[in-house]
Amino acid sequence: MKFNIITLGCKVNSYESNFMKESLINNGFSFCSDNEKCDILILNTCTVTDTSDKKSLKEVRRLKRENPNSILVVCGCSVQNNIDKYKNMGIDILMGNINKSNIVSIINDYLKNNVPYECIAKTRDLPFENMIIKSFNHTRGNIKIEDGCDNFCSYCIIPFVRGKVRSKNFDDVINEATILANNGYKEIVLTGIDTGSYESNGKDLSDLINELSKIDTLKRIRLSSIEITQLNDKFMEVLKNNDKLCNHLHIPLQAGSDEILKLMNRKYDLNYFFEKVKKIRSIRPDISITTDVIVGFPNETNEMFLKTLDTCEKLNFAKIHVFPYSDRTGTKASKMANKISINEKKDRVKKLMDLSLTLENNYYNKFKGQKLDVLIEEVFEDYSVGHTSNYLMVKIPKKLVKGEIYNEKI
């Protein structure tokens, strides 16, 4: 039977979708393209914002309308968060954030018995659902090393839908990375819901990075994201001494005023953030530091927003991912007064994105004329495209080999 998977949301979702795809193919199912009619359609949903939920539900309706005879599997965070909205949509297999690793047996049971299936976790106390992947469509391989979050930022629903922090076994990560490296992957991305909280058998993220760097054919280790509070002295030593750790850190700031950071239940103030960034740059002066910022959080005055603009400019990020605040039912922020209007949020998003573009161009221009290592990800007739260690996207006027690393003048 033929299947397809549509993935919404984060790198963790992408990893889990990739695992489901690999598992189904290994068990006799065939992957079909977007243009083919598929027997089975799997939608992996996202709930990080209200827009994510709407997009997930809209996609279910589209899939039902365009593929009335296909078996529809809907799973992921939006299902976990909004089960009542999905129950009456005629979905054949409905799953939250558990049992994705058992997708083959679940689909086979459905094919055998033709009985609708529903599985939703009722607790945050969940085991780590072990998955190992051998290949990706992309030239860098993701490894999900952690799941869940215990931070409970006041705006975020994810701790409620992903459960408590739990981690993949240390040796299993090394084994998976070795398989990917042996299959030709020069770079891996360590990802999770709260990647920096990784812990297994008394070993933390720093230990993991150092052990992974012993794999000879693995040239780069990248982190999807890490909290500023997780950049301890041990990690700083890794940053200083391990040249396989990519010259790029994505560190969410979320707000540039102490008042809003406190309302968000973030675990730092601006002084702490500035000092950590200063230390990072003392170790790696040219490192790319990118960030996430939420604008229009309840009680954010225009003065506070201007403070965020000033903070981001002073921190000199290489790029800012900007998000308008979105109410998530069940979070503390959703019950706060003094909500910001949609138009005001749009205006603030635009101003911060304009700043981000300026900062990004400034950062890119610093490297013109330098020679940097580029991992080739796309190859065309007369040029190739790839990323440097510090996550610059580079276009090279040569037809090179996909998946290889070249030292090129920028």
Residue-wise pLDDT for 128-174, tens only, equals: 999 999 988 778 999 999 999 999 999 999 999 999 999 999 999 99
Please, are residues 148 and 194 in contact by the beta-carbon 8 Å criterion?
A: yes
pLDDT digits (tens, 9 = 90+) for 29-66: 999 976 678 999 999 999 999 999 999 999 999 999 99
- This prediction has a pTM of 0.95
**Residue 6 bridge partners (DSSP):** 43
3-class secondary structure, 339:
coil
Tokens of 176: 């998976």
Please, are residues 152 and 106 in contact by the beta-carbon 8 Å criterion?
A: no
- Of 387, 391, 319, 305, which is closest to residue 348 (Cα–Cα)? 305
* Alpha-carbon gap, residue 335 to 138, rounded angstroms: 41
Task: Name the more confident of 139 and 216.
Answer: 216
Q: What is the DSSP letter of 254?
A: B
Please, are residues 129 and 48 in contact by the beta-carbon 8 Å criterion?
A: no
Confidence at residue 136, expressed as pLDDT on a 0 to 100 scale? 80
Please, are residues 220 and 250 in contact by the beta-carbon 8 Å criterion?
A: no
3-class secondary structure, 166:
strand
